[in-house]
Structure 1
């Protein structure tokens, strides 16, 4: 299974909009999930958004705000 990137945020969150702006220049495919639509995600990440999840077959890694394009690249490459 390939790596899956997911940006967790919610509508009206200016930091979530900034997170999208940091991901955009990287040209990465990612899914966006509004945590307000998922009770478990809301409970887990309500005060931490925006959050990027990196999922593969048997792992899940989390990058919490604050992050920028450079730190996203480092995180994705395991540095």
Structure 2
């Protein structure tokens, strides 16, 4: 089963926009999750967005991150 890559974000977050552009530069199209829709996500990630997470994994990649860190993170979970 292919795991999705999630990007926890919210509208108007320039860092989230930067993180998405960085992902796209690596030909990665994460599923964008707006944390505003879920109080639990606001509690978990509200002060930390953008956050990249491989679906069904516990370890997330918190901002700031760069292209190399994204590659290493995805490689760790077997995603190329």
- Tell me whether the two structures share a fold, i.e. TM-score over 0.5: yes
Name the counterpart of 2:59: 61
Distance of 1:43 and 1:18 partners within structure 2: 22
The count of aligned residue pairs is: 76
Distance of 1:2 and 1:48 partners within structure 2: 26
- Higher strand proportion, which one? 1
Misfit runs of 4+, over 6 Å? none
What are the residue-to-residue correspondences of 1:1-79 with 2, within 5 Å? 1-56=1-56, 59-78=57-76
Distance of 1:6 and 1:51 partners within structure 2: 8
Gaps of at least 5 residues in structure 1 are: none
Q: What's the offset of the Cα at 1:68?
A: 1.1
Farther-moved stretch of structure 1 (14-23 vs 27-36): 27-36
Deviations 1:43-71, CA, capped at 9 Å, x for gaps? 11100100001124xx3330000001111
Normalising by structure 1, we get a TM-score of: 0.87
Distance of 2:33 and 2:55 partners within structure 1: 14
